[in-house]
């Protein structure tokens, strides 16, 4: 049995367990800047994946903590941005492997910093923009998820690590208007704070077909086979008369995605 409290990561961090955040080189949505500030400020490790340093710099929010590290192949970070952060003693680390993406290199930086006790991990960005980058973010969520099969990565002849990542208990992706995670095979309880998260949600069996049963949705599933080319539960809703708790049982890994409310809506509700 798995329990996921999404709001414990994207909401108030007062009682949150330690977590790390990797910022990707995609736009930080204006409608979610306060959500980003909250996530970034309270993280134990803050990693910019190469050009993500440009995104952070361009926010021009002086009160934000500095990155713990900027890393990647460093072909996207602007020279003046690199100079700005190096002047403030932020490590800018070249990770040259062509067998790993900047996202994977950012996660490997987290692995190096956290030691033997893996943090919970937030990937900020990565599910907007180019389709191939979106697919790669979903691929990385699969790589990291517990109890999911991972094929052996292509070997980098100059770096044994390549794009290999260690499994960790909790990884979520926060992007424009959505929060996404991978649910391994088994039973799951998902807790949703309705002040932070909207009603729209979906269950996506992108690795293989899955028999899925749910409770707590407006249109529950009852063990139907869900697959690409077959039946998909997209644009579903959290039950309007429920407390935001959803139970999912699946015989194969599936992606869970739920709407993230805009900052203005969250503030109005608080």
**DSSP string computed for 97-138:** -TTS-HHHHHHHHHHHHHTTSPPEEEEES-SSS-HHHHHHHH
Burial 245-266 (b: 16+ CB within 10 A, else e): ebebbbbbbbbbbbbbbbbeeb
Whether 48 shows a pLDDT value over 70: the answer reads yes
Whether 63 shows a pLDDT value over 50: the answer reads yes
Please give the backbone phi and psi of residue 239, each rounded to the nearest 5 degrees, phi first: -55, 125
- The neighbouring-strand residues paired with 258 are 179, 201
Nearest to 144 by CA among 95, 185, 182, 174: 182
- CA–CA distance, 122 with 124 (Å, rounded to integer): 6
Across the range 135-146, mean pLDDT stands at: 94
pLDDT-based confidence at residue 45 (cuts at 50, 70, 90):
very high
CATH topology assigned to domain 2-269: Rossmann fold (3.40.50)
Whether 14 shows a pLDDT value over 50: the answer reads no
Whether 266 shows a pLDDT value over 90: the answer reads no
Across the range 152-162, mean pLDDT stands at: 73
- In the prediction, which pLDDT does 148 show? 86
Whether 13 shows a pLDDT value over 70: the answer reads no
pTM, two decimal places? 0.94
Express each pLDDT in 220-264 by its tens digit: 999 999 999 889 999 999 999 989 999 999 999 999 999 999 987
User: Whole-number mean pLDDT of the chain?
Assistant: 91
Nearest to 173 by CA among 260, 246, 101, 251: 260
Q: Identify the three-state secondary structure at position 267.
A: helix
């Amino acid at each position: 049995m798995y329990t996921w409290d999404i709001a414990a990561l994207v909401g108030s961090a007062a009682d949150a367990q330690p977590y790390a955040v990797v910022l990707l080189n995609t736009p930080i949505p204006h409608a979610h800047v306060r959500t980003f500030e909250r996530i970034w400020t309270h993280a134990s490790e803050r990693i910019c994946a190469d050009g993500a340093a440009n995104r952070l710099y361009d926010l021009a929010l002086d009160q934000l903590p500095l990155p713990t590290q900027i890393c990647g192949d460093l072909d996207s970070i602007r020279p003046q941005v690199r100079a700005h952060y190096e002047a403030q003693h932020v490590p800018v680390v070249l990770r040259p492997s062509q067998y790993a993406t900047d996202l994977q290199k950012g996660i490997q930086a987290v692995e190096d910093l956290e030691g033997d006790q893996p943090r919970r991990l937030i990937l900020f960005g990565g599910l907007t923009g180019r389709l191939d980058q979106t697919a790669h973010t979903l691929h990385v969520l699969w790589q990291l998820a517990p109890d999911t099969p991972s094929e052996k990565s292509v070997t980098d002849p100059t770096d044994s690590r390549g794009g290999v990542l260690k499994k960790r208990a909790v990884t979520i992706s926060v992007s424009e208007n959505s929060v996404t995670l991978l649910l391994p095979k088994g039973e799951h309880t998902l807790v949703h704070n309705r002040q932070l998260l909207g009603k729209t949600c979906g269950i996506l069996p992108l690795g293989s077909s899955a028999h899925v049963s749910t409770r707590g949705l407006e249109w529950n599933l009852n063990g139907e086979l869900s697959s690409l080319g077959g039946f998909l539960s997209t644009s579903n809703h959290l039950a309007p008369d429920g407390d935001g708790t959803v139970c999912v049982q699946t015989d194969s890994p599936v992606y869970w995605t739920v709407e993230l409310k805009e900052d203005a809506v969250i503030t109005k509700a608080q």
